[in-house]
Structure 1
Amino acid sequence: MPTKVRVAAVQAEPRWLDLRAGVAQVIEFIESAATGGAQLVAFPETFLPGYPWWLWLDSVSWGQGFFARYRTNSMTVGRTEFRRIADAARRHHIHVLLGFSERSAGSLYMSQCLIDDRGVLLGVRRKPELTSLEHRIFQSGEITEPYVFRTGIGRIGVQGGSEQLNLPARSDLERTGAQVHIVSWPGFIVARDVEWGVRVNNAATLWYSVVGQLNVIAACSVMDVAGSEFHRGPEQVKELVRGPGGHARIYAPGGQELASPLSGHQEGLLYADLELDLSVESAA
């Protein structure tokens, strides 16, 4: 029998290159989502410490000025910052899907972790398919890593933003056994003379809902590219990209939009009640 599961998607600007402030922001959203009745809250891609947009804006030499700070402010699973987030999930009895830059054994990964409502880490997924620019600072995760998690509120699949553009066959989606598909987007910029970014990315998100017959939660960052890098870039670089970036969405199977979207600049939470059959076992 279908059961309603209340979920929330975050649309917000990260606390760029400041892990301590970012963790405090994540905890605030966890508390707000739980107060709103959500049993699950999903965050954007690399929300801690923000997506490294400098990779897209100018030369590698200019971007090197940010790498040391980015690495320092990336999060290690199991350490103090991570434990604070897990504890918040436990205290507020809510599942948390967090996108973050993971520092591990000298490498950085574009990771997503799922923490359950007891504060228990169910798993970490490291993004296996990176863009050519992301490869400059991140390592690829293993393609064989699972991305569907069994939880008390259903079977949850997770992916990072650009992975949505490599659309699987419907049969592949059915084999995963997911009931909810969470995509963590880093924000949608519009580069000069390129107008299709938002339209195509939203269409890819919607595809999972229509073709896969999945509930889809798309968390998305609000981003001010110039502001995110403390205005250190040349003026001509700042003109390459314009925002505002925020396009969080929640869809029911078949494509019905379940939450009124926020404006691109607006920060907040989208809420929706998903209909899931929690009595059905996962596919093998």
Structure 2
Amino acid sequence: MGSIVRVAAVQAEPVWLDLAGTTEKTLALIADAAGRGAQLVAFPETWLPGYPVFLWTHPVPEQLPFVARYHANSPAIDAPEILAIREAARRHGITVVIGLSEKAHGTLYMAQAIIGPDGEVVLHRRKLKPTHAERTLFGESDGSGLQVVDTPLGRVGALNCWEHLQPLVKFALYAQHEQIHVAGWPCFGIFGDHNSLGTEASMAITRTYAIEGGAFVVVASQILSDDGALVFAVDGTRPPIYTGGGGVARVFGPDGGLLTAPLDPHTEGLAIADIDLSQIDIAKAFADPVGHYSRPDVFTYAVDRTARTPAHVGAIDDPTLPHADLPAAVAETAAV
């Protein structure tokens, strides 16, 4: 593992509610990042097939056609579109962190996948707690995805959007000595910039993540253009969506410093930085919240990373099932 790593953060507009179109655009962005020497490229939250802005802007009855279209364009983790992205990562020898609306049978999850330069998925995780209106469309995850993984570039982790506002979720990754963190964000323009959902507040908590965790943070975000907003028209009427671009792609250093020049929030592009992992040692010499600056004698913290399933279906005497030690009649009922 070398000390210097070139990373790229995507700031772009998806082909809204169009899985095939957004996948094609993804492949082009991967090639662009690799052609510019990037070893890692990060995509925004639910990049495939775009963030569901209709959850915040439409009454529930008007959402239903968009919900149906969103389900139809949300890929399974083993879908052909994900396989194509994996192949692009392998072909270009680049690590890809992709955000997707993952379809698992009848439920959607706000997922992220870290794909190594060999095309293998080294981490598949889902947003632990969708935020506010998102909970009407997406399911929750268990703790199994709260992982930092070893890669040829260093120890890499990822979170979505307001997971960066949850102190215990963040600490779970800090405790695994994360070096490169991908922060996936949606299109901020829909919220304006005057509340806790806007750009200024969200970038403040992302910058705080870099300082607290002593990690490099690669921030990827979507753009919503005026033309893009027309996708969400109802009966030909453009919805009351504030667009304003909304892009915020950037890279923060472990001391909180901004390492990339700000991109125009209306313009697609890549925020690219050469990061020196040895700088983490300097940052953590001042404050390491999971090392010399911690107090485990005062505070106790545990993370349950057990993968959960809503039903255990199998033989009554299967020793891996939680009811295996129950009386047969009770176990039979528990297994159904």
2:74 partner SS = coil
- Taking only the aligned residue pairs, the percentage that are identical comes to 38
Q: Please identify which structure carries the higher strand content.
A: 1
Report Cα offsets for 1:209-247 as digits up to 9, x if no partner: 122221111101111377345251489973353421101
How far residue 23 of structure 1 moved from its aligned partner, in angstroms, is 0.6
**Alignment CA distance shift 1:163-1:225 (3 Å):** farther
Superposed CA RMSD in Å reads 2.4
Q: 1:234, 1:164 → 2: CA distance? A: 37
The residue number in structure 1 matching 2:129 is: 129
Cα drift, residue 129 of structure 1: 1.2
Q: Does the 8 Å CA contact 1:182/1:218 hold for their aligned counterparts?
A: yes
Q: TM-score, normalised by structure 1?
A: 0.91
- Provide the rounded CA distance (Å) in 2 between the counterparts of 1:144 and 1:124: 9
1:160-194 deviations in whole A, cap 9, x for unaligned?
Answer: 01211223498655412101111100121354694
Q: Following the alignment from structure 2 to structure 1, what is the Cα–Cα distance between the partners of residues 59 and 170?
A: 40
Contact 1:110 1:127 in 2 (8 A): yes
Instruction: Give the match's secondary structure for 2:167.
Output: coil
User: Could you tell me the TM-score, scaled by structure 2's length?
Assistant: 0.77
State the partner residue of 1:219. Answer: 220
Q: Is the 8 A contact 1:100 1:110 kept in 2?
A: yes
Distance change in 2, residues 1:192/1:7 (3 Å) = closer
Distance 2:238 2:162 in 1: 23
Q: Cα 1:67–1:255, aligned 2, differ >3 Å: closer, same or farther?
A: same
Deviation at 1:47, TM superposition (A): 0.4
1:29 corresponds to: 29
Match of 1:200 in 2: 201
How far did residue 128 of structure 1 move?
Answer: 0.9
| Structure 1 runs, 4 residues or longer, greater than 4 Å off | 168-173, 234-237
Equivalent residues of 2:155, 2:178 under 8 A apart:
yes
For 1:41 and 1:265, the matched residues in 2 are separated by 20
Q: Check whether the contact 2:11–2:270 (CA below 8 A) recurs between aligned residues.
A: yes
How far apart, in 2, do the equivalents of 1:48 and 1:108 lie?
A: 12
| Partner residue, 1:111 | 111
Q: Distance in 2 between matches of 1:170 and 1:109?
A: 19
Q: Describe the SS at the equivalent of 1:98.
A: strand
- Indicate conservation of the 8 Å contact 1:147/1:159, yes or no: no
Q: Secondary structure at the match of 2:145?
A: coil
**Contact in 2 for aligned 1:179/1:215 (Cα 8 Å):** yes
**CA distance, structure 2, for counterparts of residue 104 and residue 202 of structure 1:** 31
Distance 1:54 1:169, change over 3 A: closer
The residue number in structure 2 matching 1:275 is 276
Aligned to 2:55: 55
Q: Please list, as runs of the form range in 1=range in 2, the aligned pairs for 1:47-86 lying within 5 A after superposition.
A: 47-86=47-86
Give the number of the structure with larger relative contact order, counting CA–CA contacts within 8 Å between residues 6 or more apart.
1
Tell me what 1:247 maps to. Answer: 248
The letter of the residue matching 1:73 is: N
Mean CA deviation greater in 192-201 or 267-276:
192-201
For structure 1, list consecutive stretches of 5 or more residues without a partner in the other structure: none
Unaligned ranges ≥5, structure 2? 282-290, 292-336
Letter in 2 for 1:111: A
CA contact (8 A) 1:89 1:116 kept: yes
Count of paired positions: 279
